Each structure stands twice: as C-alpha cells, then as structure tokens.
Amino acid sequence: MIYLPDTNAFSAHLASKSPALSARLKAGQLAGELRLSVMALAELEFGAEKARVALGHTLYTRRVRDLSSVLTPVPLGASFTGHYARVRVHLVGRREKIGDRDTIIAAHALALGATLVTRNVAEFARVPGLKVENWQTD
C-alpha cells in the first residue's frame, strides 16, 4: 500500500500536534509505504520560509529540511497530467472545485495509486476514485 499525506498531515506531524498521526507516519515510513509529493513539500517549504522571514531560523524550518532528507520527494510524473485534467474537469463541472494545490495533490495520489492521508476528508471525498484516510485522531 502507498500513502501520500497532504500538506496538513505533514504540518501537524512536523508541529508535533498529533501523536497518533506521527506514529502512523513513522510506521508507514519504516514500511516503505509513505511518499512525499513535491507539491506538499513546496507548501511545507513555503510555510517554513514564511516563518523564517518572520521569526528567523525556526525548528519548523529544520523539521521540513529533515523530512525531505528522509523521504525523497516524488515528482509528478507523466501520468499526473491526465489525472489532473480529469479531476479538475469533474470538480468544475459539478461546481465542487477544491483548492488548486489540493487538486494537484489529489491527482498525484491517483497517478501513484496511493491513498491520500488528510484531515480534509470531506473535501477530497469529492474526487472520484480517490482513496482517502484521516490518521489524525487526536
């Protein structure tokens, strides 16, 4: 099984906000099931840079750097574009659009055949064929 956490899952983990989530992420990493989308990493890097500019060097900045050294970021790949187009057309046609970056992450999960790990289950549940799980129970 492949798991692709979205940005909010990794953010909660890096900020030590959910022990249950962190335990599942660590188990998935050890089992080789966990993947880091370049889109989620880009959003994490943005948050880290924003914090760095506002506060100077932060623990969060180091944690993002450590995460990307432990989990190799997965590029979008050639099959991503078709998944993205189908997801976006579906959501726009139903007037159920989700955020642009979330659309990218959802399409990336579909392209990888991965289950998306997120706290935003209701939003991602609108994406046809996407498997979604919430590991943040605390």
pLDDT at 34: 92
With beta carbons less than 8 A apart as the criterion, state whether 63 and 32 touch.
no
| Residue 138 pLDDT level (bands cut at 50, 70, 90) | low
123 assigned to some structural domain: yes
With beta carbons less than 8 A apart as the criterion, state whether 137 and 23 touch.
no
What total number of domains does the chain contain?
1
138 assigned to some structural domain: no
The gap between the terminal CA atoms of the chain, to the nearest Å, is 24
25 assigned to some structural domain: yes
pLDDT of 15-38, one tens digit each?
888 888 888 888 877 778 999 999
pLDDT of 35-93, one tens digit each?
999 999 999 999 999 888 888 777 888 889 889 888 889 999 899 999 999 999 999 99
DSSP string, 16-38: T--HHHHHHHHHHHHTT-B-EEH
109: its two tokens? 């999960």
Q: Which residues span the domain enclosing 58?
A: 3-133
CATH of the domain at 108: 3.40.50.1010
- Predicted structure pTM score: 0.90
Q: Which residues contact 124 (CB under 8 A, 6 or more apart)?
A: 6, 98, 102, 106, 116, 118, 130, 132
* CA neighbor of 80 nearest in space, from 28, 25, 4: 4
| Residue 136 pLDDT level (bands cut at 50, 70, 90) | confident
76 assigned to some structural domain: yes
Q: How far apart are CA 130 and CA 69, in angstroms?
A: 27
